[in-house]
Structure 1
Amino acid sequence: MPKKDRKRLQVVISDEQDALLTRTAYELSSPERLISKSEVVRLAIEKIARELGEGENMEEYRAILDQTEPADDS
Protein backbone atom coordinates (compact mmCIF):
# COMPACT_ATOMS: atom_id res chain seq x y z
CA MET A 1 0.00 0.00 0.00
CA PRO A 2 1.53 3.36 -1.00
CA LYS A 3 2.17 5.94 1.67
CA LYS A 4 -0.01 9.03 1.77
CA ASP A 5 1.47 12.12 0.19
CA ARG A 6 2.22 14.52 3.02
CA LYS A 7 3.71 17.94 3.16
CA ARG A 8 6.49 18.56 5.63
CA LEU A 9 6.72 21.81 7.55
CA GLN A 10 9.56 22.88 9.76
CA VAL A 11 8.90 25.53 12.36
CA VAL A 12 10.95 27.01 15.14
CA ILE A 13 9.29 26.83 18.53
CA SER A 14 10.38 27.93 21.97
CA ASP A 15 11.32 25.58 24.78
CA GLU A 16 8.06 26.49 26.48
CA GLN A 17 6.03 25.59 23.37
CA ASP A 18 7.91 22.30 23.04
CA ALA A 19 7.11 21.52 26.68
CA LEU A 20 3.44 22.29 26.02
CA LEU A 21 3.45 19.94 23.02
CA THR A 22 5.11 17.20 25.04
CA ARG A 23 2.69 17.59 27.94
CA THR A 24 -0.34 17.65 25.63
CA ALA A 25 0.83 14.53 23.78
CA TYR A 26 1.35 12.78 27.11
CA GLU A 27 -2.10 13.79 28.39
CA LEU A 28 -3.82 12.64 25.18
CA SER A 29 -1.96 9.33 25.16
CA SER A 30 -3.32 6.16 26.70
CA PRO A 31 -1.76 2.78 27.47
CA GLU A 32 -3.22 1.55 24.19
CA ARG A 33 -2.06 4.45 22.03
CA LEU A 34 0.78 6.91 22.33
CA ILE A 35 0.13 10.29 20.73
CA SER A 36 3.04 12.08 19.06
CA LYS A 37 3.77 15.78 19.14
CA SER A 38 3.15 15.86 15.37
CA GLU A 39 -0.32 14.45 15.93
CA VAL A 40 -0.98 17.17 18.51
CA VAL A 41 0.06 19.82 15.98
CA ARG A 42 -2.21 18.31 13.29
CA LEU A 43 -5.10 18.19 15.78
CA ALA A 44 -4.53 21.83 16.76
CA ILE A 45 -4.49 22.91 13.10
CA GLU A 46 -7.80 21.14 12.45
CA LYS A 47 -9.38 22.53 15.63
CA ILE A 48 -8.32 26.12 14.94
CA ALA A 49 -9.41 25.94 11.29
CA ARG A 50 -12.79 24.51 12.28
CA GLU A 51 -13.34 27.18 14.94
CA LEU A 52 -12.34 30.01 12.60
CA GLY A 53 -14.65 28.60 9.92
CA GLU A 54 -17.48 28.81 12.45
CA GLY A 55 -16.46 32.34 13.44
CA GLU A 56 -15.40 31.27 16.92
CA ASN A 57 -12.44 32.47 19.00
CA MET A 58 -10.97 34.67 16.25
CA GLU A 59 -10.18 37.54 18.62
CA GLU A 60 -8.76 35.14 21.19
CA TYR A 61 -6.36 33.66 18.62
CA ARG A 62 -5.37 37.12 17.40
CA ALA A 63 -4.63 38.19 20.98
CA ILE A 64 -2.42 35.13 21.49
CA LEU A 65 -0.58 35.83 18.24
CA ASP A 66 -0.07 39.47 19.23
CA GLN A 67 1.70 38.28 22.40
CA THR A 68 4.16 36.03 20.54
CA GLU A 69 7.24 36.91 18.56
CA PRO A 70 6.73 37.56 14.85
CA ALA A 71 7.18 34.50 12.65
CA ASP A 72 10.31 34.21 10.54
CA ASP A 73 8.76 32.83 7.33
CA SER A 74 11.76 33.59 5.13
Structure 2
Amino acid sequence: MPKKERKRLQVVISEEQDALLTRTAYELSSPERLISKSEVVRLAIEKIARELGDGEHLDEYRLLLDHDEVADDQA
Protein backbone atom coordinates (compact mmCIF):
# COMPACT_ATOMS: atom_id res chain seq x y z
CA MET A 1 0.00 0.00 0.00
CA PRO A 2 1.54 3.35 -1.00
CA LYS A 3 2.34 5.81 1.74
CA LYS A 4 -0.07 8.73 2.10
CA GLU A 5 1.31 11.96 0.73
CA ARG A 6 1.36 14.72 3.28
CA LYS A 7 1.95 18.40 2.95
CA ARG A 8 4.81 19.83 4.94
CA LEU A 9 4.41 22.99 6.95
CA GLN A 10 7.25 24.75 8.67
CA VAL A 11 6.48 27.07 11.53
CA VAL A 12 8.63 28.94 14.00
CA ILE A 13 7.74 28.25 17.60
CA SER A 14 9.15 29.50 20.87
CA GLU A 15 11.19 27.35 23.24
CA GLU A 16 8.22 27.38 25.60
CA GLN A 17 5.88 26.09 22.86
CA ASP A 18 8.41 23.40 21.94
CA ALA A 19 8.57 22.36 25.60
CA LEU A 20 4.76 22.17 25.69
CA LEU A 21 4.78 19.98 22.57
CA THR A 22 7.43 17.70 24.05
CA ARG A 23 5.58 17.39 27.36
CA THR A 24 2.26 16.70 25.63
CA ALA A 25 3.80 14.04 23.38
CA TYR A 26 5.38 12.41 26.42
CA GLU A 27 2.09 12.45 28.36
CA LEU A 28 0.16 10.95 25.42
CA SER A 29 2.77 8.26 24.85
CA SER A 30 2.59 4.82 26.37
CA PRO A 31 5.12 1.99 26.65
CA GLU A 32 3.45 0.44 23.60
CA ARG A 33 3.37 3.58 21.48
CA LEU A 34 5.48 6.72 21.42
CA ILE A 35 3.67 9.83 20.21
CA SER A 36 5.65 12.37 18.18
CA LYS A 37 5.39 16.13 18.40
CA SER A 38 4.09 16.12 14.81
CA GLU A 39 1.25 13.82 15.87
CA VAL A 40 0.41 16.20 18.72
CA VAL A 41 0.22 19.09 16.24
CA ARG A 42 -2.03 17.09 13.89
CA LEU A 43 -4.27 16.12 16.81
CA ALA A 44 -4.51 19.74 17.93
CA ILE A 45 -5.45 20.88 14.42
CA GLU A 46 -8.24 18.29 14.22
CA LYS A 47 -9.51 19.12 17.71
CA ILE A 48 -9.59 22.87 17.06
CA ALA A 49 -11.29 22.41 13.69
CA ARG A 50 -13.94 20.14 15.23
CA GLU A 51 -14.60 22.57 18.08
CA LEU A 52 -14.86 25.54 15.71
CA GLY A 53 -17.22 23.54 13.49
CA ASP A 54 -19.41 22.97 16.54
CA GLY A 55 -19.22 26.67 17.43
CA GLU A 56 -17.25 25.95 20.60
CA HIS A 57 -14.45 28.04 22.12
CA LEU A 58 -14.32 30.54 19.24
CA ASP A 59 -13.79 33.54 21.50
CA GLU A 60 -11.24 31.67 23.62
CA TYR A 61 -9.16 30.77 20.54
CA ARG A 62 -9.34 34.36 19.28
CA LEU A 63 -8.07 35.62 22.64
CA LEU A 64 -5.22 33.11 22.56
CA LEU A 65 -4.27 34.19 19.05
CA ASP A 66 -4.24 37.82 20.14
CA HIS A 67 -1.70 36.92 22.84
CA ASP A 68 1.83 37.90 21.76
CA GLU A 69 3.41 34.48 22.38
CA VAL A 70 0.95 32.63 20.13
CA ALA A 71 0.37 35.11 17.31
CA ASP A 72 2.72 35.20 14.34
CA ASP A 73 5.23 38.04 14.27
CA GLN A 74 3.94 40.75 11.99
CA ALA A 75 7.26 42.58 11.79
**Structure showing greater relative contact order (alpha-carbon pairs closer than 8 Å, 6 or more residues apart):** 2
SS in 2 for 1:65: helix
Q: Determine the C-alpha separation between the residues in 1 that align with 2:67 and 2:32.
A: 37
- Report runs of 4+ in structure 1 exceeding 2 Å deviation: none
Instruction: Calculate the TM-score normalised by the size of structure 2.
Output: 0.91
Instruction: Calculate the TM-score normalised by the size of structure 1.
Output: 0.92
Stretches of structure 2 that go unaligned for 5 or more consecutive residues are: none
Stretches of structure 1 that go unaligned for 5 or more consecutive residues are: none
Shift of residue 68, structure 1, vs aligned partner: 2.5
Q: Determine the C-alpha separation between the residues in 1 that align with 2:50 and 2:66.
A: 21
Q: Deviations over 1:4-60 (max 9, x none)?
A: 011000000000000000000000000000000000000000000000000000000
Q: CA RMSD in A?
A: 1.4
Q: Determine the C-alpha separation between the residues in 1 that align with 2:5 and 2:65.
A: 30
Q: Determine the C-alpha separation between the residues in 1 that align with 2:45 and 2:15.
A: 20
Q: Determine the C-alpha separation between the residues in 2 that align with 1:34 and 1:71.
A: 29
Residue aligning to 1:22: 22
Number of residues paired by the alignment?
73
Q: Determine the C-alpha separation between the residues in 1 that align with 2:38 and 2:72.
A: 19
